[in-house]
Structure 1
Amino acid sequence: MNTFTNQKAIVTGATKGIGKAITEALLAQGATVLGLYSGDEAAASAFAAAHPEAGERLRLHKVDVSDCKAVQVFCRETEEQFDTIDILVNNAGIRRDAVLAMMRQEDWQRVLDVNLTGGYNMCRFALPLMLKQKYGRIIFITSPMGHLGFAGQANYAASKAGQVGLMKSLSKEVAKRKITVNCVSPGFIGTEFIGDLSEEQMKDYKKLVPAGRFGTPEEVADAVLFLADKRAAYINGSVLEVTGGL
């Protein structure tokens, strides 16, 4: 069933990991997806080549979500081409781990710029395209680290906690326009995002998960599609955890 036929979706961080799975799931359900990526041209090219069947429904754009001007230009061009959008998935995110006493200021700032300010930029300039039709779905991909915290991830945890606060406030601002704003909070998911962890760390983290395994990107994508559906109209300001019980 093509639940999202004739809908337009923007997905940030769209060509790898969880974002890739979300983009593929939306395409499979009939949506037109404007996928944003920051700089990995090889991954973007490979992703496009792997989905020739999508045709014009898959449109990839190189945009740094932390760059306010670049996001504004992208959203202006999107409005000129499509007039409105239906779904925004703020998935783009990075990690630059270090204990706080040794964390470089630029690493602190870059994680906040991409993970938190990037979501602000996307919402600020994409929202008018939803407001003009009085309908939309905005979904942030956050993390349990926002409330659990891990040693060495103060910047990442702060950015993810900030996403939840941003979501909560925005959900109250736009609810009367039939726009919902929610978070999906994945736990440990088997992607390249955690590929830099040692084998010992992987074993230790897996022990923390009651389900006894890491999740898959497709399981996160299923949660995103649930919240993006028109039938999720009364779910607003919520955090849906996909953590295996973490």
Structure 2
Amino acid sequence: MKIDLSGKVALVTGATGELGRVIARSLAECGADVALHYHSNESKAAELKSAIEAMGRRAVAVKADITKQGSVEEMKQAVEAGLGQADIVVANAVVQYQWTSVLEQPAEDYASQFESCVMQSVYLAKSFIPAMIEKKGGRFIGINTECSMQNFPTQSAYVAGKRGMDGVYRVLAKEVGEHQITVNQVAPGWTISERDRANGTERSEGYEQSVPLKRRGTDQEIANAVVFLASDLASFITGAYIPVSGGNVMPSI
């Protein structure tokens, strides 16, 4: 048994980010052609595009503002022109900001998280799911976070955006399930990235002690969960919020 995404077209938003590029490469390694969304890092998008093409897969790099419906629709048109209709959509992009307390957090940070978590997902659904309905199948995957269950101090804007996103995904899963489209979320813990490896910051003993597996997860382990959900092996999984956090958070029943 193996994951084979041959003949599939995947879109990854925020593909030039630390996690996004590992997800994109992993999808390509399993046979998918990949559309690489970026907001400003054109050089990294071009580098990633070349790397995926070197695997023998097709790739396109597409610049877009995922917080604007018109820009997302233009991205869809570019993806279809370059690769064809998307079978797999991975909503990974999110606006970065400085975390602080509720009393000190600027109001615009709450707006940015709502736009990049909730509205990105809505715009992606409106643009890409109609074609999935026509084809009677597809995978819609969002990157959430363990923070949605933690609700720790200084997390409020991020948690607000991601918990709102969670509501959209759960409802959407029920609305499009009859078309054999699955809608799921992967919720990473504090993940070791390429930047951590370069800077020697992989370890965090305080955090690791709270994790049952006593370590931080890797970007590849997060990407593995995404690839699984994108595959036929996950054809009967929908509406799920799946922590990939070493047991640091555990949804209850």
Same fold by TM (over 0.5)?
Answer: yes
Q: How does 1:183-194 map to 2 (within 5 A)?
A: 183-191=185-193
Query: For residue 113 of structure 1, what is the amino acid of its counterpart?
Result: E
* Equivalent residue in structure 2 for 1:213, among 209, 212, 215: 215
Query: For residue 120 of structure 1, what is the amino acid of its counterpart?
Result: V
Tell me how far 1:89 sits from its aligned partner. Answer: 0.6
Partner of 1:237: 239
Partner of 2:29: 28
Q: Distance in 2 between matches of 1:128 and 1:85?
A: 11
CA deviations on 1:176-208 (whole Å, 9 max, x unpaired) are 10101011111110137999xxx8x94432222
Tell me how far 1:83 sits from its aligned partner. Answer: 4.8
* Equivalent residue in structure 1 for 2:137, among 132, 135, 138: 135
Partner of 2:76: 75
Q: How does 1:4-43 map to 2 (within 5 A)?
A: 4-43=5-44
Identity of aligned residues (%): 31
CA deviations on 1:100-135 (whole Å, 9 max, x unpaired) are 111111222112211221121111111112111111
Query: For residue 37 of structure 2, what is the amino acid of its counterpart?
Result: L
Partner of 2:251: none
CA deviations on 1:43-63 (whole Å, 9 max, x unpaired) are 223323444414661211111
How many residues get paired? 242
Partner of 1:100: 102
Q: How does 1:142-153 map to 2 (within 5 A)?
A: 142-153=144-155
Tell me the secondary structure at the aligned position of residue 132 of structure 1.
helix
Q: Distance in 2 between matches of 1:88 and 1:212?
A: 32
Query: For residue 98 of structure 1, what is the amino acid of its counterpart?
Result: T
Tell me the secondary structure at the aligned position of residue 110 of structure 1.
helix
Tell me the secondary structure at the aligned position of residue 180 of structure 1.
strand
* Equivalent residue in structure 2 for 1:123, among 125, 147, 156: 125
Q: Which is worse superposed, 5-14 or 229-238?
A: 229-238
Q: Distance in 2 between matches of 1:113 and 1:204?
A: 32
Q: Which runs of 5+ in 2 are unaligned?
A: 249-253
Partner of 1:90: 91
Tell me how far 1:175 sits from its aligned partner. Answer: 0.5
CA contact (8 A) 1:98 1:152 kept: yes
CA contact (8 A) 1:167 1:182 kept: yes
Q: Which is worse superposed, 144-153 or 70-79?
A: 70-79
Q: Distance in 2 between matches of 1:82 and 1:70?
A: 18
CA deviations on 1:53-112 (whole Å, 9 max, x unpaired) are 146612111112111110011113434555532101111123421111111112221122
**Which consecutive aligned stretches of 4+ in structure 1 deviate over 4 angstroms post-superposition?**
80-83, 192-195
Q: CA RMSD in A?
A: 2.2
Q: Which runs of 5+ in 1 are unaligned?
A: none
With over 3 angstroms needed to count, the CA separation of the structure-2 counterparts of 1:234 and 1:99, relative to structure 1, is same
Structure 1 length-normalised TM: 0.90
Query: For residue 93 of structure 1, what is the amino acid of its counterpart?
Result: V
With over 3 angstroms needed to count, the CA separation of the structure-2 counterparts of 1:79 and 1:166, relative to structure 1, is same
